[in-house]
Structure 1
Amino acid sequence: MPMEPDVIAWGSLLSSCKVYKNVDLDGLHPQKDEIYKMMDKIWKEIKKMGFAPDTESVLHDLGVEVKDQILRYHSEKLAIAFGIISTPENTTLRIMKNLRVCNDCHNAIKFISKLVDREIIVRDATRFHHFKDGSCSCKDYW
């Protein structure tokens, strides 16, 4: 690269790694495999409950299966999977995000809260979302 990489270059690299499943940048977390296995399990279970991924949330021109995979591994979903494997049952999970939660994650977290029978609090760029028993305190106005 003829110049020093900036925030945009690094962001593009990380996004590309997600799309093409380069786990080299992801591989540093010692519980990575457990987290991804838990998220895969959660994803299957919430789909059985009626959750349908919002593939329109992925703005890239990709196949439905790739979009499904990208949505499954959004950061807040992985944070929730990590919380589930790392905390005792019935513990409230608190997730902080510096961007607004996407529509797909918002809907998925409603299903996850019901599946795991936990309160999940997500602080995004605009508000706190309290998910419990399959609903959110924002009444889906977010």
Structure 2
Amino acid sequence: MDGLLFACSHTGSLEKGRSYFNSMDNIHGIKPGAEHYACMIDLLGRSGNLSEAKQLLDQMDVEPDATVWKSLLGACRMHKELEMGEMAAKELFELEPKNSMPYVMLSNLYSAAGRWEDAAKIRKLMKCRGISKEPGSSWTQANGKTHTFVSEDRSHPMMARIYSKIDEVIALIKEAGYVPDMSFVLHDMEREGKELGLAYHSEKLALAFGLLVVPSGAVIRIYKNLRVCGDCHTAFKYISSLYDRHIVLRDSNCFHHFVDGKCSCGDYW
């Protein structure tokens, strides 16, 4: 049943998810476990029903575990719900004190709200507790070699051409309606610096490289060790349409197939 609920949460099938969840006890006599609650809270949260998600959490028949609180925190990050996100993060600080995820997510929430001092305090707290965030990296293959990029990378031998390609791409997709999402900028700086920071995310660098070396008509395949950021996800949709490319991005959550300005995940990931 948790597989069904997981599938519902990643396709935005809210009513189906509610029906499956309610049928567990009412029809099949199965008491939901923490994993089922986590899937349902994730589904409700993704769809923007955060108050219902919190109400379900409060009514759980079992003790909420870290997965449940992560589901709620992820939804709060998606919908910029700071107060509830703070509560979920603090629960996770107790349950998994060495896990960087709640610290990073809470810092991101503060950054999105423009509370830069609070974001800096969370990063300082991580440092004091010896907790490090896994750095984001993206990679792609060309000519039998793996090419790996990190944010604002300058080490690749083709970097001058890659950065020139990114500047071209960003200018083109802006003309088509793309607007950089500043909520994914994690440090306080001038607008121009924020835009450049977003433009040079690792997955955008990998895609620019792919546009340069992968033949027209061939699929561009990119891998990322973390979840793709929302701004990059939006940019990839524009790029797939304007450059007429099929882009496959495998992040830590799922496969994303970008074709003709749309993603296979339906913006649920």
CA distance in 2: counterparts of 1:85 and 1:106, whole angstroms: 20
Percent same amino acid at aligned positions? Answer: 49
Q: Flag as ranges the 4+ runs of structure 1 deviating above 6 A.
A: none
Q: 2:238: which partner in 1?
A: 111
Equivalent of residue 68 in structure 1, options 181, 184, 195? 195
CA distance in 1: counterparts of 2:186 and 2:202, whole angstroms: 17
- C-alpha displacement of 1:99: 0.3
1:96 aligns with 2:198: no
Q: Identify the structure with the greater helix proportion.
A: 2
State the SS of the aligned residue for 1:141.
Answer: coil
Provide closer, same or farther for how the CA distance between residues 66 and 91 of structure 1 changes in structure 2, counting only shifts above 3 A.
same
Q: 1:31: which partner in 2?
A: 158
Q: 2:37: which partner in 1?
A: none
Q: 2:58: which partner in 1?
A: none
CA distance in 1: counterparts of 2:200 and 2:222, whole angstroms: 15
Amino acid at match of 1:87: V
Give deviations 1:41-66, integer Å, cap 9, x for gaps. Answer: 00000000000000111121112111
Amino acid at match of 1:80: L
1:120 aligns with 2:247: yes
CA distance in 2: counterparts of 1:101 and 1:34, whole angstroms: 23
Give deviations 1:7-59, integer Å, cap 9, x for gaps. Answer: 949x6xxx9x94xxxxxx62x32111000100100000000000000011112
With the length of structure 1 as denominator, give the TM-score of the two structures. 0.82
Amino acid at match of 1:101: V
Amino acid at match of 2:204: K
With the length of structure 2 as denominator, give the TM-score of the two structures. 0.44
CA distance in 2: counterparts of 1:111 and 1:79, whole angstroms: 16
Greater RCO (CA < 8 Å, at least 6 residues apart): 1
CA RMSD of aligned residues (A): 2.3
State the SS of the aligned residue for 2:237.
Answer: helix
- Unaligned 5+ segments in structure 1 are 1-5, 19-24
CA distance in 2: counterparts of 1:45 and 1:65, whole angstroms: 17
Provide closer, same or farther for how the CA distance between residues 65 and 87 of structure 1 changes in structure 2, counting only shifts above 3 A.
same
Aligned residues: 126
- Unaligned 5+ segments in structure 2 are 1-129, 136-149
Amino acid at match of 2:163: Y
CA distance in 1: counterparts of 2:229 and 2:215, whole angstroms: 27
Q: Which has the larger radius of gyration?
A: 2
CA distance in 1: counterparts of 2:163 and 2:245, whole angstroms: 19
